[in-house]
Chains A and B, each alone.
Chain A
Amino acid sequence: AQKITQTQPGMFVQEKEAVTLDCTYDTSDQSYGLFWYKQPSSGEMIFLIYQGSYDEQNATEGRYSLNFQKARKSANLVISASQLGDSAMYFCAMREPENSGGSNYKLTFGKGTLLTVNP
């Protein structure tokens, strides 16, 4: 079973509008972390935002916010005031303990959502 599910292969948004990219996750651990990365067409991976499982408030970083709904196991990325430069592939990822001791962590990625911002 997939641990990270991104159900939107592609999304379109008009410049200056807000857009939500969906991410659901599956874990039985209580301690985990959720990440969003951006990959523009140039190929590099850019860290955007992080949410810890014990964080009560939604994470925000500039125009990025993470809508964390723990009971629903969702961690959607919201981009406000979209810009043409936001056009890219976006990956949701989860870090969870490899074992019950939590001494090792692995980061598991979803398959990504390709966002296109139209002028």
Chain B
Amino acid sequence: NAGVTQTPKFQVLKTGQSMTLQCAQDMNHEYMSWYRQDPGMGLRLIHYSVGAGITDQGEVPNGYNVSRSTTEDFPLRLLSAAPSQTSVYFCASSYSVQGLATGELFFGEGSRLTVL
């Protein structure tokens, strides 16, 4: 049972570098999302997608790009990393957001990113 898989689990970047956090799910979930978790801030939504080819911004989208070319994958791209993007990132997915019973999110294990 793979569920939601995030890679890498740890990454250190220098300011200005780019990188992609990978997220894949094998549950055929239509809804996928990225959150960042910072101390004292809870989890904040960065971007989300309700299906292949559809993405939208969350609460804190600046500095991040996403795409959804397949149902399974939802990568998060940092084009020019900044120290303010030092955080723990979670990918999460859910069944279709329409007509669902609970819509609970299934989370990946998290990716700890440090930007120097």
Tell me if B44 and A109 are in contact (CB < 8 A): yes
Tell me if A33 and B102 are in contact (CB < 8 A): yes
Instruction: State the interface size on chain A (CB cutoff 8 A).
Output: 23
Partner of A47, one of B31, B33, B59, B105: B105
Q: Does A105 contact B (CB under 8 A)?
A: yes
Kindly identify, within residues 3 to 57 of chain A, every residue whose CB is under 8 Å from any CB belonging to chain B.
Answer: 4, 33, 35, 43-45, 47, 50, 52
Q: Does B107 contact A (CB under 8 A)?
A: yes
Q: Does A100 contact B (CB under 8 A)?
A: no
Contact residues in A for B42 (Cβ distance below 8 Å): 4, 91, 109-112
Given contacts A104-B50, A106-B58, A50 and B43 within 8 Å (CB-CB): no
Tell me if B56 and A105 are in contact (CB < 8 A): no
Given contacts A33-B102, A106-B58, A44 and B43 within 8 Å (CB-CB): no
Given contacts A44-B110, A108-B45, A33 and B40 within 8 Å (CB-CB): no
Given contacts A45-B90, A111-B40, A111-B41, A106 and B48 within 8 Å (CB-CB): yes
Instruction: State the interface size on chain B (CB cutoff 8 A).
Output: 27
Partner of B43, one of A47, A95, A102, A109: A109
Closest Cβ–Cβ distance, residue B27 to chain A (whole Å): 14
Tell me if B97 and A105 are in contact (CB < 8 A): yes
Contact residues in B for A84 (Cβ distance below 8 Å): none
Partner of A91, one of B33, B43, B50, B109: B43
Contact with B along A92-107 (1 / 0, CB 8 A): 0101000000111111
Chain B residue, CB-CB nearest to A46: B107
Tell me if A105 and B103 are in contact (CB < 8 A): yes
Contact with A along B30-42 (1 / 0, CB 8 A): 0101010000111
Contact residues in B for A109 (Cβ distance below 8 Å): 35, 42-44
